[in-house]
């Protein structure tokens, strides 16, 4: 793979933080002249090779991550980026598996490769993004502060472009593709959907086609508009956490509790799908609380769990049943609004679902 021995190459696993941070990693490493090689998309083989190296109880995304590391090693990549994202703000922590990712990989992957470790811990004094980036660049002999800071700006540019497009409602894949090409487009999507659903989960669960079994495509095929945490700002998710009366401790709360809290009080959302991976302790607790709160908001909710054995047929059946129930509920609402006026029946369709562009 590394044809030119002078070429600097870094392998990035297409898993975990990839789904949120890759636009930043791409802008940053590219600006430093480091070529990026991604692992291949997740397959059954990725899952089974990763699962074979860890204990059964390990959560699915970590098994997938291990599979991606193996894939990069098989491709002949020596330096592989394995960040440890401890804390994203003072006293807001990631789950222990995300925090200890380099240690976990060191202990289970016994093949020769160089781990590019970088730790982000905003709860520690003097530990900012620059320290993290310095550690990421050091294995390539890059220590020039100015160069690293310039590369960081390039990373933020790509990251911000990706998020601007995602917030406008553009699909994950399209927004990522445009951002990596240095482009920004805002789609003027006027298509109306009869049903809107908020999908509450981590990016690594819903944007990985194998793990999610293409849940977003399947819902769109059923004429459902899908909303995720990517359409929300951090302020909106923070409000969502407050709306549910929860306190912020886990970094996961933004994607889970905050996203659920925001969409539970949003009238255009007809129902919520909370999806977690088998073996995830923090999400199980959060989803339990979200499901209880959903009753107070009178919002239909379904909780789906995926693991490497989940069969697609049963998964689709549950999705179809939920969507069908939402359609029936919406039709019943429309019929309830029939008004008898001077003996004539006038339909007053419920148009709350039509997204209002502010």
Query: Count residues contacting ligand SF4 (CB under 6 A)?
Result: 12
> What's the closest the beta carbon of residue 96 comes to ligand SF4, in angstroms?
7
Sheet holding 301-306, edge to edge: 224-227, 195-200, 271-277, 301-306
Query: Of 218, 237, 238, which Cα lies nearest the Cα of 226?
Result: 218
Instruction: State which residue, 72 or 277, has the beta carbon closest to ligand SF4.
Output: 277
Joined tokens for residue 299: 């919002």
Told to check if 277 binds ligand SF4 by CB under 6 A, we report yes
Told to check if 240 binds ligand SF4 by CB under 6 A, we report no
Instruction: State which residue, 95 or 248, has the beta carbon closest to ligand SF4.
Output: 95
Instruction: State which residue, 36 or 95, has the beta carbon closest to ligand SF4.
Output: 95
Residues 138-177 that bind ligand SF4 (CB under 6 A): none
Give the separation between CA 315 and CA 322, rounded to whole angstroms.
11
Told to check if 108 binds ligand SF4 by CB under 6 A, we report no
> What's the closest the beta carbon of residue 230 comes to ligand SF4, in angstroms?
17
Is 135 within 8 Å of 118 (Cβ atoms)? yes
Residue 164 three-state SS:
helix
Told to check if 51 binds ligand SF4 by CB under 6 A, we report no
Where does this chain touch ligand SF4 (CB under 6 A) — which range of 128-136, 175-183, 275-283, 348-356? 275-283
Is 300 within 8 Å of 322 (Cβ atoms)? yes
> What's the closest the beta carbon of residue 47 comes to ligand SF4, in angstroms?
14
Told to check if 50 binds ligand SF4 by CB under 6 A, we report no
Name the strand (E) or helix (H) holding 345.
strand 344-346
Query: Of 32, 27, 87, 95, which Cα lies nearest the Cα of 59?
Result: 95
Give the separation between CA 270 and CA 323, rounded to whole angstroms.
10
Told to check if 73 binds ligand SF4 by CB under 6 A, we report no
Name the CA radius of gyration of the chain, rounded: 22
Told to check if 67 binds ligand SF4 by CB under 6 A, we report no
Residues 177-206 that bind ligand SF4 (CB under 6 A): none
Of 9, 54, 282, 353, the one binding ligand SF4 by CB under 6 A: 282
Where does this chain touch ligand SF4 (CB under 6 A) — which range of 23-31, 54-62, 116-124, 179-187? 54-62
Told to check if 303 binds ligand SF4 by CB under 6 A, we report no
Query: Of 273, 281, 236, 241, which Cα lies nearest the Cα of 257?
Result: 241
Of 87, 152, 252, 257, the one binding ligand SF4 by CB under 6 A: 252
If you write DSSP's letter for every residue of 229-286 in order, what string do you get?
A: GGGS-HHHHHHHHHHTT----BTHHIIIIIHHHHHHT-TT--EEEEEEETT-HHHHHH
Where does this chain touch ligand SF4 (CB under 6 A) — which range of 3-11, 56-64, 109-117, 303-311? 56-64
Of 10, 47, 62, 118, the one binding ligand SF4 by CB under 6 A: 62
Residues that bind ligand SF4 (CB under 6 A): 59, 61-62, 95, 97-98, 252, 277, 280-283
């Amino acid at each position: 793979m590394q044809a030119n021995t002078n070429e600097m190459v870094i392998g990035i696993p297409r898993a975990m933080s990839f789904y949120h941070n890759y636009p930043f990693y791409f802008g940053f490493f590219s600006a430093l002249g480091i070529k990026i090689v991604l692992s291949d998309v997740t397959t059954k083989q990725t899952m089974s090779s990763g699962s074979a190296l860890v204990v059964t109880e390990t959560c699915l995304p970590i098994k997938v991550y291990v599979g991606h590391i193996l894939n990069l090693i098989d491709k002949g990549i020596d330096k592989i980026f394995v960040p440890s994202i401890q804390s994203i703000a003072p006293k807001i922590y990631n789950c222990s598996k995300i925090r200890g990712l380099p240690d976990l990989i060191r202990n289970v992957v016994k093949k020769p490769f160089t781990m590019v470790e970088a730790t982000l811990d905003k709860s520690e004094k003097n530990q900012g993004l620059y320290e993290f980036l310095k550690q990421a660049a050091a294995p390539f002999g890059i220590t020039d502060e100015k160069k690293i800071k310039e590369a960081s700006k390039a990373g933020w540019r790509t990251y911000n472009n990706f998020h601007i497009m995602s917030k406008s409602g553009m699909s994950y894949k399209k927004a990522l593709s445009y951002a990596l090409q240095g482009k920004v487009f805002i789609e003027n999507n006027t298509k109306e959907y009869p049903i809107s659903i908020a999908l509450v989960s981590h990016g690594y669960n819903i944007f990985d086609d194998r793990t999610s079994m293409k849940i977003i495509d399947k819902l769109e095929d059923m004429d459902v508009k899908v909303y995720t945490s990517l359409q929300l700002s951090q302020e909106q998710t923070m409000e969502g956490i407050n709306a549910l009366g929860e306190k912020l401790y886990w970094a996961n709360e933004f994607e889970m509790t905050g996203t659920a809290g925001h969409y539970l009080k949003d009238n255009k959302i007809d129902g919520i799908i909370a999806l977690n991976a088998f073996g995830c302790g923090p999400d199980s607790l959060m989803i339990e609380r979200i499901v209880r709160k959903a009753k107070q908001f009178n919002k239909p909710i379904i909780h789906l769990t995926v693991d490497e054995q989940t069969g697609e047929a049963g998964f689709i059946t549950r999705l179809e049943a939920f969507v069908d129930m939402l359609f029936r509920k919406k039709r019943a609402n429309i019929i309830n609004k029939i008004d008898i006026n001077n003996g004539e029946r006038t339909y007053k369709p419920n148009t709350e679902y039509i997204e209002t562009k502010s």
